[in-house]
C-alpha cells in the first residue's frame, strides 16, 4: 500500500466508494423525482436553477470571505477560519457545478454560512488539528514535552554531583 494513504489514515477503496455513492444518490433522486413528482423538463430546469443560484451564492460568500481574510491579515492575525471557509466554498462550487439535486444540496450546505460554520468547526477539531498536531509533534494542541524524552520508556539516573561546577576565580 502507498505510504501516503497510511499517513492520511484513509483507505483508497473508501474514498472511491464515497465518490461513487454521490452520483448514484443523485441519479436515484432524479429518477424518483421524475417518476412520482415532476415532469423531466421541470426537473432539468430545477437542476439548472439551483446550480445558477448556488453559484451566485458561492460568489457572494467568496467575496465576503476574501474581505474577512484581508481584514484579519491587516490586523496581523492568522486567518485560519477564512482559509477553511475558502476551501469549503471551493468544494461548494464544485458540488454546485455538478448537475444533480443531491450535489446541489451538499453544495448549498457548504455555501450557506449558517451550515458552513459548524462544518468548519468539525473539520478543525477532527481533521485539521489532529493532522497538524501529528505533523508538528504536539505543538498545535500544546501537548509538547517539557522534560524527559518523548516516547521513550528509558529512565536515566543522573547523579547531582556530576553537575557541580567550581568557580576558578
Against a cut of 0.85, is the pTM above it?
Answer: no
- Residue 78's pLDDT band (cuts 50, 70, 90): confident
Distance, CA of 62 to CA of 87 (rounded, Å): 10
If one counts the domains in the chain, the total is: 1
pLDDT given at position 22:
87
Distance, CA of 6 to CA of 82 (rounded, Å): 29
Q: Where are the alpha helices (DSSP H) in the chain?
A: 3-8, 12-36, 40-74, 80-97, 101-111, 113-123, 129-135
Note whether residue 164 is domain-resident: no
pLDDT in tens, 100-136: 889 999 999 999 999 999 999 999 988 888 888 888 7
> What is the domain range of residue 134?
3-144
Note whether residue 149 is domain-resident: no
pLDDT given at position 1:
46
Note whether residue 61 is domain-resident: yes
Note whether residue 75 is domain-resident: yes
Residue 139: exposure state from Cβ atoms within 10 A (0-12, 13-18, ≥19): exposed
Amino acid at each position: 500500500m502507498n505510504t501516503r494513504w497510511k499517513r492520511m489514515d484513509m483507505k483508497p477503496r473508501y474514498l472511491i466508494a464515497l465518490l461513487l455513492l454521490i452520483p448514484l444518490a443523485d441519479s436515484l433522486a432524479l429518477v424518483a423525482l421524475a417518476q412520482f413528482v415532476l415532469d423531466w423538463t421541470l426537473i432539468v430546469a430545477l437542476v439548472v436553477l439551483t446550480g445558477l443560484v448556488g453559484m451566485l451564492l458561492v460568489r457572494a460568500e467568496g467575496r465576503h470571505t476574501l474581505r474577512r481574510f484581508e481584514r484579519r491579515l491587516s490586523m496581523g492575525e492568522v486567518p485560519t477560519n477564512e482559509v477553511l471557509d475558502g476551501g469549503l466554498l471551493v468544494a461548494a462550487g464544485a458540488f454546485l457545478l455538478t448537475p444533480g439535486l443531491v450535489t446541489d444540496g451538499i453544495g448549498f450546505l457548504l455555501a450557506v454560512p449558517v451550515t458552513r460554520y459548524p462544518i468548519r468547526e468539525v473539520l478543525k477539531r477532527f481533521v485539521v488539528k489532529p493532522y497538524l498536531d501529528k505533523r508538528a509533534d504536539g505543538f498545535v494542541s500544546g501537548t509538547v514535552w517539557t522534560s524527559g524524552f518523548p516516547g521513550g520508556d528509558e529512565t536515566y539516573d543522573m547523579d547531582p554531583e556530576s553537575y557541580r561546577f567550581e568557580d576558578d576565580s
